């Protein structure tokens, strides 16, 4: 028998020397076919390669205009500044997106390249939903959650009103002869010093995993959501007398980020504002001398960490339902010191995030300033998860109460449904909506499963808009490589023919006719077409490369998840709250009437009991 230290040393050697487990002749990786140990080794190797080669900064120099308050060193700032004291602007709102591809590989497209092949024709033929294809192992909260998280991480802001992209449409197109797409907002921070950077874009949100969709990305927005009330002030976010978020002047709930609002996003905001306020109440009982600001700041820290933990340990293993991946995400959060059996006996003395977890460990930027990336934005285009309608059922007896077209729950219409009654004058309760989302399936991430209502949106200034077409244009416009080049740049093998993606004859006919060459294939279409997916995965390996890289980076670059994830910052009670928290426990804390539906459910992103 090898000693623990020798076994661990052997494991490290395997990580650094094992060659690819897939034969050279194969296009697709097969790490998932080799068990927990060797499959895990491959994932570690893949991530290490990506850390070294796929993080690229687009800032010649970060601005020096952010000033850090030494009295607020251990709380998250409203605008994301001062997370890193050496570079206070890093990750702040208004800072550029980075890239996961070398800057030399970014090509500024011509207008002809943006329009070729015609993105509207591709959307109509390869995205349009013919019939709804559900994901049987997920519920609708999986769809709501990821949009809720994306709203924390990325936004390119309002589009440019001038000089729109103009698409010529087919004679039979119901939109007429032309479609207008406004360009992405221009980066007005560029100077002559940026000549070596082909293009850049600004994130209007903070780049950090800091709950900015709830708390806002500037001080004015954060002040607007707060209650500022109570006998000694209570550190809470405002709620209306009915126990829900107050309604703003635009008819949408008051929130830190409100673009693309719909019922699913509404429910997530309601739930995690309740969670913030519950944490604030708990902290106040423990620290009656704390003022409103200190209660708010600490409740935010804890609430954000709860959301990050849920995403890492529950949402990701739900949509990527593979035991090796599940073990890897657990290790990302807590290493091999929790729910990982006797492996801790081998690795407890090794100071490495692979073994001890990222959270609470050492901060590591891998030599590149932290930011969200354009390629990250691209692979999170998961619109096919949305169904055409929401089936609202009674929490008490599963009776159908209402069928709501999803498009009718957008913006100011969302909260209206929370006050409706059905035909039998049954007063709909929030718990009915939550139960319904927990039992309905989202759509599969595959071709011809894009929501029809998103291909027929009414948008001010531009009129009718097809979001599927816009998704394709955005990648091309922002210099995100086409599918095959994207794979090459991320250390994956390119496909040689469309038949490598799928054997569906209808899809193959369209791919050949619309694209001709595999080198023209759009990233979105290629990823949706991938039929060779790791076991249990809701999407394929091309998207997974970015997930694998950035899921760790979001944690490892943030001092509030690494060096400052400790009881001296969060409080011992805060650390304990985070450790106990799951999506299920958050739901039951605020809606205990869901107990029977969640009995025996180990992951609340999976379908609940009826």
Tell me which residues are annotated as active site.
380
Using the Cα atoms of residue 257, residue 258, residue 264 and residue 270 in order, give the sign of their dihedral. positive
Whether 320 and 538 have beta carbons less than 8 Å apart is answered as yes
Q: Residue 214: helix, strand or coil by DSSP?
A: helix
Q: Burial level of 120, CB count in 10 A (0-12/13-18/19+)?
A: buried
Task: Return d(Cα 503, Cα 508) in angstroms, integer.
Answer: 7
- C-alpha span between 299 and 25 (Å, rounded): 53
Count of beta carbons in the 10 Å neighbourhood of residue 38: 14
Q: Alpha helix (H) ranges present in 311-398?
A: 316-319, 323-334, 343-347, 353-356, 374-379
Structure token digits, residue 221: 């927005």
Please state, in angstroms and as integers, the Cα–Cα distance from residue 235 to each residue in 71, 72, 265, 278, 525, following that order.
18, 16, 23, 10, 46
Would the CA dihedral through 28, 31, 32, 33 be positive or negative?
positive
- Contact criterion met (CB below 8 Å) for 249 and 398: no
Distance CA 489, CA 102 (A): 8
Q: Give dist(CA 280, CA 274) in Å, integer.
A: 10
């Amino acid at each position: 028998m090898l000693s623990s230290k020798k076994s661990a040393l052997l494991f490290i050697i395997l990580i650094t020397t094992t060659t690819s487990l897939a034969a050279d002749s194969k296009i697709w990786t097969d790490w998932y076919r080799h068990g927990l140990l060797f499959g895990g080794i491959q994932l570690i190797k893949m991530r290490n390669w990506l850390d070294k080669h796929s993080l690229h900064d687009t800032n010649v120099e970060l601005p020096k205009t952010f000033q850090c308050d030494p009295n607020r060193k251990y709380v998250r700032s409203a605008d994301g500044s001062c997370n890193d004291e050496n570079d206070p602007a890093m990750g702040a709102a208004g800072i550029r997106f980075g890239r996961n591809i070398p800057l030399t590989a970014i090509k500024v497209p011509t207008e002809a390249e943006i329009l070729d092949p015609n993105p509207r024709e591709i959307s109509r033929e390869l995205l349009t939903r013919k019939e709804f294809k559900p994901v049987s192992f997920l519920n609708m909260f999986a769809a709501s959650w990821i949009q809720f998280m994306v709203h924390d991480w990325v936004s390119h802001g309002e589009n440019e009103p001038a000089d729109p992209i103009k698409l010529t449409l087919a004679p039979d197109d119901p939109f007429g002869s032309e479609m207008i797409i406004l360009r992405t907002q221009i980066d007005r921070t560029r100077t002559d010093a940026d000549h070596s950077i082909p293009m850049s874009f600004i994130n209007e949100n903070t780049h950090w995993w800091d709950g900015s969709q709830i708390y806002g990305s500037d001080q004015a927005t954060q002040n607007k959501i707060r209650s500022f009330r109570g006998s000694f002030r209570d550190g809470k976010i405002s709620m209306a007398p009915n126990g829900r978020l107050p309604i703003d002047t635009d008819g949408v709930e008051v929130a830190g980020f409100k673009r693309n609002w719909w019922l699913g996003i509404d429910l997530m905001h309601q739930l995690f504002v309740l969670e913030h306020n519950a944490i604030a109440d708990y902290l106040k009982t423990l620290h009656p001398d704390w003022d409103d600001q200190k209660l708010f700041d600490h409740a935010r820290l804890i609430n954000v960490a709860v959301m990050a933990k849920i995403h890492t340990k529950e949402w990701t293993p739900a949509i990527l339902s593979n035991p090796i991946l599940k073990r890897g995400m657990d290790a990302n959060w807590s290493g091999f010191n929790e729910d990982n059996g006797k492996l801790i006996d081998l690795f407890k003395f090794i100071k490495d995030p692979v073994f001890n977890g990222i959270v609470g460990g050492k901060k590591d930027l891998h030599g590149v300033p932290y930011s969200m990336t354009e390629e990250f934005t691209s692979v999170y285009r998961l619109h096919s998860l949305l169904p055409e309608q929401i089936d609202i059922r009674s929490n008490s007896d599963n009776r159908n109460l209402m069928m709501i077209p999803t498009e009718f729950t957008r913006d100011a219409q969302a909260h209206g449904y929370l006050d409706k009654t059905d035909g039998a004058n049954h007063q709909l309760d929030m718990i009915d909506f939550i139960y319904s989302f927990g039992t309905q399936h989202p759509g599969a991430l595959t071709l011809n499963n894009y929501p029809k209502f998103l291909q027929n949106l009414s948008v001010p200034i531009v009129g009718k808009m097809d979001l599927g077409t816009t998704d394709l244009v955005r990648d091309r416009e922002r210099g995100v490589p086409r599918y095959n080049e994207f794979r090459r740049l991320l250390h994956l093998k390119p496909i040689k023919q469309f038949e490598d993606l799928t054997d569906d004859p209808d899809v193959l006919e369209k791919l050949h006719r619309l694209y001709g060459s595999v080198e023209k294939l759009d990233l979105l279409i290629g990823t949706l077409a991938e039929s060779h997916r790791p076991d249990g995965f809701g999407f394929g390996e091309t998207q997974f490369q970015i997930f694998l890289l950035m899921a760790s980076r979001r944690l490892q670059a943030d001092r509030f998840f690494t060096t400052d994830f400790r009881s001296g910052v969060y409080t011992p009670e805060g650390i304990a709250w985070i450790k106990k928290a799951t999506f299920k426990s958050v739901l039951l804390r605020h809606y205990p009437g869901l107990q029977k539906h969640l009995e025996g459910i180990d992951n609340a992103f999976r379908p609940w009991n009826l």
